[in-house]
Structure 1
Amino acid sequence: MTVPRDVYLPVAAQPSVDTLVELTRRAEGLGYERAWLPETWGRDAVTTLTSVAERTESIGLGISIANVYSRSPALLGQTAATLQEVSDGRFRIGLGPSGPIVVEGWHGVDFEQPLKRTREAVEIVKTVLRGDQLNYDGDIFQLSGFRLRHEPPEPRPGVDAGGLGPKSVELAGRFADGWHALMLTRDGLRDRLADFDRGAELGDRDRSEQRVTLSVPCCVLPDGERARDLVRQHVAFYVGGMGTFYRDSLARQGYEETAHTVAERWANGDHDAATAAIDDDLLDELAVAGTPEACRDRIERFAEIDGVDALSVSFPRAAEPDDVDATMAELAPQ
């Protein structure tokens, strides 16, 4: 069976909401199944996806990932219900803790008990989406009395979870409807899929009803070296500049020396040296980057991994709009 192909809209801030709408319309025309919108330092995902939903017809839409600190779980549930309504049943939400740089630095909230908070948020959002009365007695949230004042959405949108480490991925398998995987080699992904499957078994979940979405950094251009440089910079930024989570994840996958070298050089302000530490072999293990001739088959190595239910084409943070458009076209579903 062919693995569905999604698109992960650019992380970097775009010129306008219209730009994101047009990128999604382009993806829809190319046959991508779903467009995921990250919520980082640009426009908020909820308002943006509302605009996208009103101006697209068939492509699925989703937030990947909404962090569980900046909005309450009840509000996340309301948001998912509303976006499912305005998109005519095309919405799916991904939840996760993000990290202390974002949560504490941007939102001023203590980054405490991220796994437990994610688990409880997933459970609460699902309760809201069922239309049930919310009476929840958790370790973090003690809630009572809330219930949607309108009919719950049909179909109910999937509630996924993000995660990099073994425990967070097991949690996704046990409590969520899917897992968002990223920055993983093929061997590293297989290890985490075992964690997800174990969680699904512990939660007595039907694995066939869960969706593992793998996001792969991609850049496919006639100038193959430029494409590879853009993705190399992207990987170095995440490993070196986004806290310890990506560094630790890369180390767990057998690249401990590289992970610490990148992080150390980045912390010292030598971003070029940090980028150079991502060698060609590692780049090809994590990403799809180069000329169209080199990359058309390369992406299939990720799609062929047993347990991957959808493959999401993502883009390096420094990619220009033309780079995004060219990559999306070259890697479009056949």
Structure 2
Amino acid sequence: MTIRIGLSIDPLMPRFLDLAREAERLGIDSVWVAEFWASDAFTPLAAVAAVTERIKLATGIAQLGARTPAMLAMTAQGVQTLSDGRMILGIGASGPQVMEGWHGVPFDRPVQRTRETIEIVRMITSGERLSYDGDVYRLPLPDGQGKAIRSRADTAPIPIYVASLGPTNLRLTGELADGWIGNSFFPATADAFFDPIEEGAAIAGRSAEAIDRVVAVGLEFTADDPAMIAAAGRRHADGYAFTFGAMGSATKNFYNDAFARQGFGDDVAEVQRLWAAGDREAAAARVPIEIGSGTNLVGPPATIRDRLVEYERSGVTTLRVGLDGDFDRKIADLERLMSLVDEAGAAVATT
């Protein structure tokens, strides 16, 4: 099966609805909306649902703890109904800075919270009466006046994808999720992620092949010129300084841990140290260019075609692509990418 392409869209950028329509025309499989400390993820997807017919609509990701599991299910059901069944509920634990600093809720027991949220959402979307006795959630509240309630919405299964990087959460993904949302990913070290997913699937007695494996990449075409290729890789590497330095606490950064498991432990530790010391420029320069070029689609068309082959052979089933540039450039890059996807799929099929 040829690798599928998803598209990350930003509802704050001009003409994002036009971009979604064009993506559907070009055969893009899904559009993804992030949620951090700007727009929510669901409202833009509802708008996209109104102007498209086929393309899947995915949260990438909805933050656990920002909503109760019941509200998460209700919101997803709303988009599912508006889109005639195209919703993908992508969820993730986020981190303490966002959950405690922005939402004002404790960041605790993220793996258990993920497990219980999946189980509760599936109870609701399957039409069961909601009675749940977990470690994080107990519904109805014990010794309260609440009653077990059944959803009045039209019920239908909604695929649930989990953003996970650590081994424990990856195993949970393999055990329960319909898909994995990944980043910090090199095809050559795919086993760092896929082995735990397969372990979790084995625990659940199911095949890991049923799990959609989604990896985020940036896309940047360049001329076939070593200096231009290196400059593009450097730009993408520089962007990781914020990830390594700010997307986590001094003692816990899930992204840094993921890169450390793939051989970059000393590098990310030094980037984090420089960032904490206030030297943002040195932190960016310290990120190895291999990280920028190795976790994205960067280079001339022939190089990107070969990279698509690597991703597909590693076991990735969907690439979630981020684009730069104005509207016309985005459309041109998508057209070029989809042609290369067909070439890469043919290459994989014949080898």
Q: TM-score, normalised by structure 2?
A: 0.86
Q: 1:208 to 1:301 in 2, by over 3 A?
A: closer
Residue type of the alignment partner of 2:241: A
Q: Deviations over 1:10-35 (max 9, x none)?
A: 4xx7335xx32122122212211111
Q: Distance in 2 between matches of 1:43 and 1:321?
A: 21
1:14 aligns with 2:12: yes
1:235 matched residue in structure 2: 240
Aligned 8 A contact 1:218 1:231 in 2: no
Q: Tell me the CA shift for residue 191 of structure 1.
A: 2.0
Percent of counterpart pairs with the same letter?
33
State the match for 2:219 in structure 1: 218
Q: Matched residues in 2 for 1:280 and 1:214: separation?
A: 19
State the partner residue of 2:72. 76
Unaligned runs of 5+ in 2: 141-147, 343-351
Q: Which residue of 1 aligns with 2:145?
A: none
Q: 1:320: Cα distance to partner?
A: 3.8
State the distance in 1 between where 2:181 and 2:160 align.
Answer: 11
Change (3 A) 1:235 1:290: farther
Residues 1:305 and 2:314 aligned together: yes
Does the aligned pair in 1 maintain the 2:237–2:293 contact within 8 Å?
A: no
Give the Cα–Cα distance (whole angstroms) in 1 for the partners of residues 102 and 85 of structure 2: 32
| One-letter identity of the residue aligned with 1:281 | E
> Of the candidates 132, 137, 153, which is equivalent to residue 133 of structure 2?
137
Deviation at 1:251, TM superposition (A): 1.1
> What is the match of residue 288 of structure 1?
297
What is the identity, as a one-letter code, of the residue corresponding to 1:7? Answer: L
Instruction: Give distance in 1, aligned partners of 2:201 and 2:55.
Output: 28
- Between 194-203 and 265-274, report the one with greater CA deviation: 265-274
Q: CA deviation at 1:225?
A: 5.3
- How far residue 246 of structure 1 moved from its aligned partner, in angstroms, is 1.0
> Residue 24 of structure 1 corresponds to which residue in structure 2?
20
1:232 CA drift (Å): 1.8
Provide the aligned length of Structure 1 versus Structure 2.
Answer: 324
For structure 1, which segment, 249-258 or 134-143, has the greater mean C-alpha deviation from structure 2 after superposition? 249-258
Is 1:271 matched with 2:280? yes
The DSSP-based 3-state class of the residue aligned with 2:307 is coil
Letter matched to residue 172 of structure 1? T
Question: Relative to structure 1, is the Cα distance of residues 42 and 7 closer, same or farther in structure 2, using a 3 angstrom cutoff?
Answer: same
2:347 counterpart residue number: none
Aligned to 2:186: 185
Letter of the aligned partner of 1:271 in structure 2?
R
Residue 237 of structure 2 contacts residue 291 of structure 2 at CA under 8 Å; is this kept in 1? no
Deviations 1:264-304 (A, max 9, x none): 12222222222222223333322222344432332321122
User: After superposition, where does 1:238-257 map in structure 2 within 5 Å?
Assistant: 238-243=243-248, 244-257=253-266
User: Residue 205 of structure 1 corresponds to which residue in structure 2?
Assistant: 206
| Change in 2 beyond 3 A, CA 1:327/1:229 | farther
Separation of aligned partners in 1, 2:83 and 2:232: 34
Distance 2:128 2:243 in 1: 39
Q: Is the 8 A contact 2:233 2:290 kept in 1?
A: no
CA separation in 1, counterparts of 2:282 and 2:334?
A: 29
- Partners of 1:30 and 1:289 in 2: how far apart? 21
Distance in 1 between residues matched to 2:68 and 2:35, nearest whole Å:
16
Residue type of the partner of 2:5? R
Distance (Å, rounded) in 1 between the aligned partners of 2:300 and 2:246: 28
- 1:225 and 1:329 map into 2 onto residues whose CA distance is 24
Give the whole-Å Cα distance in 2 for the aligned partners of 1:210 and 1:304.
16
Does structure 1 residue 151 correspond to structure 2 residue 154? yes
Contact 1:219–1:324 (8 Å) recurs in 2 = no
Q: Which moved more, 1:167-176 or 1:223-232?
A: 223-232
Alpha-carbon separation, structure 1, partners of 2:239 and 2:221: 14
Question: Over aligned residue pairs, what C-alpha RMSD do you find?
Answer: 2.0
Q: Alignment partner for residue 331 of structure 1, among 322, 337, 341?
A: 337
CA shift at 1:50, angstroms? Answer: 0.5
**Structure 1 residue 75: deviation in Å?**
0.8
After superposition, residues 42-121 of structure 1 pair within 5 angstroms as 42-121=38-117
What is the distance in 1 between the residues matched to 2:286 and 2:308? 23
Matched residue SS, 2:112: helix
CA distance 1:139–1:206, shift in 2 (3 Å): same
Runs of 4 or more off by more than 6 Å in structure 1? none
Letter in 2 for 1:89: G
Alpha-carbon offset, residue 85 of structure 1: 0.9
Alpha-carbon contact 2:88-2:158 (below 8 Å) kept: yes
C-alpha distance in structure 2 between counterparts of 1:214 and 1:259, whole Å = 20
Deviation at 1:328, TM superposition (A): 2.9
> Could you list the per-position Cα deviations for residues 232-262 of structure 1 after superposition, in whole angstroms to 9, with x for gaps in the alignment?
2322221222111211211121111111111
SS of the equivalent of 1:157 reads: coil
Instruction: State which structure, 1 or 2, has the greater radius of gyration over its C-alpha atoms.
Output: 2
After TM superposition, the structure 1 stretch with the greater mean CA deviation from structure 2, 221-230 or 188-197, is: 221-230
Partners of 2:303 and 2:205 in 1: CA distance = 42
- 2-side partners of 1:27 and 1:56: how far apart? 10
